[in-house]
Amino acid sequence: MKIYTLILICILFIQCDDKKSSSVDKLKSERNKLIIENRFAEKIQKYYSNGEGSNLKLEINKSDSINELIFKDNENFPLMLIKIPKKNTSNSKKQILFTDINNDELQDIIINVHREGGWGGGNVFDNEIFIFKNEKNNFILKSANNSRTLTDCKFGHFSLRNIENNKLTGISYCYAPDDGHCCPSLKYETLLRIKNWKLEHFESKEIN
């Protein structure tokens, strides 16, 4: 009887220890994920602050899923709104993709950033797709690709869907000559190719 009791105590102790280890591992994973999310947001913020927004005021709004950067002129008029995703909130529209671009068995990251205003205010929409290379979990920004050079139109934006064989799939929304800034009426199924850590237009098919 004593032996069975001892065995039972040992089993309960092991189960308890396993649950504790699992809880600790989960906490570490969530903490590491949060660090990575904030690291990307900070790098993208730095990209804009040191670039097009270098002479402008910056206001930052943060939430669990997104960081908003609002660049304003000296009179506090908003010229550009940047939305940096920190996690995917939709199964169909992916803002963040994980993929091994250079076949080194490390997950590189692609982030789709939405922009409004065109640095002049107003309802002009486009986006930039950032590609980060994973160098032993130190993520290096390799390129920022504007949708104006990737879609079938001068002005428009690209809604990212997925990635297969180093090609990004998505929908391009483009403006016809009579469209208002708010409402692009042309849609294309678009395929983008990754080449030398940059994106280039591969092919498109108009959606009627």
The pLDDT tens digits for 167-181 are 899 888 888 888 877
pTM across the whole model: 0.78
pLDDT of residue 21 exceeding 60:
no
Q: What are phi and psi of 45, to 5 degrees?
A: -60, -45
- At 45-88, the pLDDT tens digits run 999 999 989 999 999 999 888 899 999 999 999 999 999 988 87
Sequence-ordered alpha helix ranges (H) in the chain: 2-49
What is the per-residue pLDDT for 26? 45
What is the rounded distance in angstroms from the CA atom of residue 184 to the CA atom of residue 145? Answer: 20
36 contacts: CB under 8 Å, gap ≥ 6: 139
Mean pLDDT of the chain: 80
Rg of the chain (C-alpha set): 22
- Going by DSSP bridges, is the β-strand pair 125-135/156-164 parallel, antiparallel, or unpaired? unpaired
